Amino acid sequence: MRISCGRRLRVRLGLLAVLVQPAWAFAHAEHRERLDSVDALHWSFDPWVLASLALAAGFYLCGILRLWRASTPGAGVRRWQAGCFAGGWLTLVVALVTPLDPLGEVLFSAHMVQHELLMLVAAPLLVLGRPLAVFVWALPPGGRRATGTFTRTAAVTGAWRGITHPFTAWAVHALVLWAWHAPPLFQASVLDTSVHTAQHLSFLFAALLFWWTLLYGRPKHGGSGVAILYLLSTAMHTGVLGALLTFSQRIWYPVYAPLTPAWGMTPLEDQQLGGLIMWVPGGLVYLIAALWLAGRLLGEGGVAEPRR
- Helix/strand/coil (H, E, C) string of 51-72? HHHHHHHHHHHHHHHHHHHHCC
> Is pLDDT larger for residue 2 or for residue 146?
146
Average pLDDT over residues 235-242: 96
Tally the residues of the chain.
308
> Is pLDDT larger for residue 194 or for residue 6?
194
* Nearest by Cα to 207 from 176, 167, 229, 179: 176
Average pLDDT over residues 168-197: 95
Q: Are 260 and 266 in contact (CB under 8 A)?
A: yes
Predicted pLDDT of residue 18: 37
Predicted pLDDT of residue 42: 83
Model confidence pTM above 0.85:
no
Nearest-angstrom CA–CA distance, 69 and 186: 46
What are the residues whose beta carbons fall under 8 Å from the beta carbon of 138, sequence distance 6 or more? Answer: 58, 59, 60, 62, 63, 66
Nearest-angstrom CA–CA distance, 27 and 189: 12
Phi, psi of 106 (to 5 degrees): -110, -40
Confidence of residue 301 (pLDDT cuts 50, 70, 90): low
Least confident of 35-39, 262-266, 284-288: 35-39
Nearest-angstrom CA–CA distance, 244 and 22: 33
208-230 confidence digits (pLDDT tens): 999 999 888 755 555 678 889 99
What are the residues whose beta carbons fall under 8 Å from the beta carbon of 279, sequence distance 6 or more? Answer: 238, 239, 241, 242, 243, 245, 246
DSSP 8-class letter at 36: H
What are the residues whose beta carbons fall under 8 Å from the beta carbon of 255, sequence distance 6 or more? Answer: 28, 31, 187, 190, 191
21-54 confidence digits (pLDDT tens): 333 333 444 444 445 444 547 888 889 999 999 9
Q: Are 144 and 66 in contact (CB under 8 A)?
A: no
